[in-house]
Amino acid sequence: MKTRKETALGDCWNVEALYPTFEEWEKDFETAKRANQHPIWPEIMGFQGRLSESSQILNEVLENIFSISRQLEKLYTYAHLKHDEDIAEERYKSAFAKISALFHEFGKETSWFESELLAVEAATLKSFLESPELQKYRFYVEKIIRMRPFTLSSSEEKLIALAGQSLMSSCKAFNSINDADFHFGTAKDSQGEEKPISHASYGMFIRDPDRTLRKNVFQRFHKQYADFENTLTELLNGQIQAHIFSMRARNYPSCVEAALYPKNIDPSVYHALIKATEDNITPLHRYIELRKKILGVEELNYYDLQVPLIADFDIKMPYQEAEDIIIESVAPLGNDYQNLLRKGLKEDRWVDRYENKSKRSGAYSSGCFDSMPYILMNYKDLLRDVFTLAHEAGHSMHSLLSRTTQPYWYADYPIFVAEVASTFNEDLLMRLMMERAQSKEEKIFLINQKIDDIRGTLFRQTLFAEFEFAIHDLAEKHTPLTPQLLRTLYRKLNQKYFGEHLTLDEYSDIEWARVPHFYYNFYVYQYATGISAALALTDRVIGGGKSEREDYLNFLKGGSSRYPIDLLQTAGVDMRTPTPVNKAIEKFGSLVNELEKLLGETPQENKPEQKTPAR
Ligand SMILES: [Zn+2]
């Protein structure tokens, strides 16, 4: 493998656009840390205790906070990108650690701001917000004020903050046992060869055509979790108890409301997702039945869910071609969008394309207000990589449009809408590739990928969301969470979602134990709502005209200038209703029909909606 120094410049992202040399970064950093004076930023700390005096003071504090954090973000972005290019390189490792520490100091020196703002009398604050100079920050301040009903007195808040570190220990312990202490050993393939299992190789082996390998890997991997079932139950329970502590301390009615309220997302969005999926689960059952038939297995097992349906087919595409087809695929978003993307990929060098020695694995889109929206990936000519590039480019275009339209303080989009732009672009690419598909095999391969994508993002994450809600609900009602209870609950959900054609062995019941997202406090549902919104929006833009396109582009330009649900409403989807989820499932159903047809199976009539009995 090439070292970083041997990598051609044209294949690397242009981080030098941010700082031409490391020495320039160091100089800027030295200025930013101000010789560690105390306080480091007197232009912020100096106003502590004075927020209620006048709107001018509030304005000045906000201006100072934003201008310093903007400067720190630029420093941080450079260090984090350079560090990811070669994580073994000492000077970037140390640069990254230094700027992270400075950021931490900044957090400490600004932590008083929100609680002091909330302590300002409501009428005073209201009159401040009428003043002309604060208009540009109005929504920003209103978002903070919205937290007032669940904010406590400063001494109570201090007590909660003091408990902060210890409340994170379950999550930290889970990460340690999962990432560091667990060793998964090896599993035999059909030739009797032992294959070493890790988190990364598990993802590969579970898609391998060798069924013996899949089975052995699945069982060995999950046995590790089953062997530590009591500990893992207590860790998850500890995390939930931490959520319950914050919820009760702040007087929220439930954990789900405590998690969703700060983002102004009504719990009805969460419940509508689960209900819509529950009411329309039949297409997933049909797909499982079809998968069993095509694979020709007597029993379809958990370890048969991810293997491609056509084993001996793959699409290979060199990087340049991937760029071209991705640029072509975004044509429905108009010339301006397409030209910006072309320029970013082909001229500005957003993308760090290939693997090199000690480069960070995976893929992401990252950057800051003053940088281009960089993309890191490890492109290997596989179809999966083409879609990864389309996905990250979707994020990057969202960032670019938000940053060039919004002021700094509204430029970052909320997590709830983040996956919409990326999934939207993946869907555009899939549509173009389907149109172009030369052979039946290619079509089957593509449809299969799309189906498994929706299955993994919509159905699977909703199953997780339902599990997450149920365990919190039980714990809130003082039902002790035991290993047996979690197994039974998880099995019931698997049965409900996958139906009778999936055979569940004991190891499928323990799968919950390996999902890190259950420690993220009601996070996973956003994957499911994100893909539903994206699919509804591609339909709307492609089936619509100029105004539907403008609606979507305005959503991308909106950053965080409004609440996420309102932003999506501008684009044309209402996530408070079950419609987007229903439509996404409908689409899944029609893809299953198409796959059936291509495979020569007779498509079944669309069965009427099957109501599942209430939980
Ligand atoms: Zn993404």
| pLDDT digit string, tens, across residues 353-383 | 999 999 988 899 999 999 999 999 999 998 8
Query: What is the structure's pLDDT at 611?
Result: 36
Q: At what angle do helices 112-119 and 138-145 cross, to 10 degrees?
A: 80
| 561 within 8 A of 487, measured Cβ to Cβ | no
Q: Between 302 and 600, whose confidence is greater? A: 302
**Banded model confidence at residue 323, pLDDT cuts 50, 70, 90:** very high
DSSP-based three-state secondary structure for 328: helix
Query: What is the structure's pLDDT at 603?
Result: 47
Cα(539) to centroid(ligand 1), Å:
20
Cα(451) to centroid(ligand 1), Å:
18
DSSP-based three-state secondary structure for 194: strand
Res. 609: pLDDT tops 50: no
Cα(365) to centroid(ligand 1), Å:
8
Cα(527) to centroid(ligand 1), Å:
9
User: Range with the lowest mean pLDDT among 253-262, 303-312, 387-396?
Assistant: 303-312
**Residue 266: how many CB atoms within 10 A of its CB?**
14
Cα(177) to centroid(ligand 1), Å:
26
| 471 within 8 A of 236, measured Cβ to Cβ | yes
pTM score? 0.91
| 188 within 8 A of 194, measured Cβ to Cβ | yes
Cα(395) to centroid(ligand 1), Å:
7
- The 8 Å CB, 24+ separation contacts for 46-54 are 48/112, 48/116, 49/116, 51/113, 51/116, 51/117, 51/120, 52/119, 52/120, 52/121, 52/124, 54/128
Res. 557: pLDDT tops 90: yes
Which positions ≥6 away from 180 have C-beta within 8 Å?
A: none
Percent of the chain clearing pLDDT 90 (strictly above): 87
By DSSP bridging, strand 300-301 and strand 364-366 are: unpaired
Torsions phi, psi for 165 (to 5 deg): -60, -45
| 21 within 8 A of 4, measured Cβ to Cβ | no
Res. 614: pLDDT tops 50: no
Res. 118: pLDDT tops 50: yes
Cα(525) to centroid(ligand 1), Å:
14
Cα(530) to centroid(ligand 1), Å:
10
Query: Of 343, 494, 337, nearest to 428 (Cα)?
Result: 337
Query: What is the structure's pLDDT at 607?
Result: 38
Q: Between 158 and 472, whose confidence is greater? A: 472
**Banded model confidence at residue 311, pLDDT cuts 50, 70, 90:** confident
Cα(188) to centroid(ligand 1), Å:
34
Helix (H) or strand (E) holding 537: helix 525-543
Query: What is the structure's pLDDT at 612?
Result: 38
Query: What is the structure's pLDDT at 509?
Result: 97
Does domain 183-227 correspond to CATH entry 1.10.287.830? yes
Q: Residues 425-482: pLDDT tens digits?
A: 999 999 999 999 989 989 999 999 999 999 999 999 999 999 999 999 999 999 999 9
Q: Between 384 and 190, whose confidence is greater? A: 190
Q: At what angle do helices 460-476 and 483-498 cross, to 10 degrees?
A: 140
Cα(82) to centroid(ligand 1), Å:
21
Cα(561) to centroid(ligand 1), Å:
21
Query: Of 422, 403, 421, 423, nearest to 561 (Cα)?
Result: 403
Distance CA 112, CA 49 (A): 9
**Residue-averaged pLDDT of the chain:** 93
Distance CA 589, CA 284 (A): 8
**Torsion over CA: 544, 545, 547, 551 (sign):** positive
Query: What is the structure's pLDDT at 249?
Result: 95
| 591 within 8 A of 445, measured Cβ to Cβ | no
Question: Do 4-151 and 183-227 fold alike per CATH?
Answer: no
Domain spanning 4-151: which CATH class is it, in words? Answer: mainly alpha
Q: Residues 487-538: pLDDT tens digits?
A: 999 999 999 999 999 999 999 999 999 999 999 999 999 999 999 999 999 9
Catalytic residue positions, numbered: 392
Length of the chain: 615
Res. 37: pLDDT tops 70: yes
Query: What is the structure's pLDDT at 606?
Result: 42
Query: What is the structure's pLDDT at 432?
Result: 97
Cα(64) to centroid(ligand 1), Å:
32
Distance CA 161, CA 227 (A): 35
Three-state SS letters, 434-472: HHHCCCHHHHHHHHHHHHHHHHHHHHHHHHHHHHHHHHH
User: Taking ligand 1, which is a single-atom ion, which protein residues have CB atoms under 5 Å away?
Assistant: 422
**Banded model confidence at residue 601, pLDDT cuts 50, 70, 90:** low
Q: List residues bridging with 365 in a β-sheet.
A: 375
In the chain, what are the domain boundaries? 4-151, 183-227
Cα(144) to centroid(ligand 1), Å:
27
Q: Residues 570-594: pLDDT tens digits?
A: 999 999 999 999 999 999 999 999 9
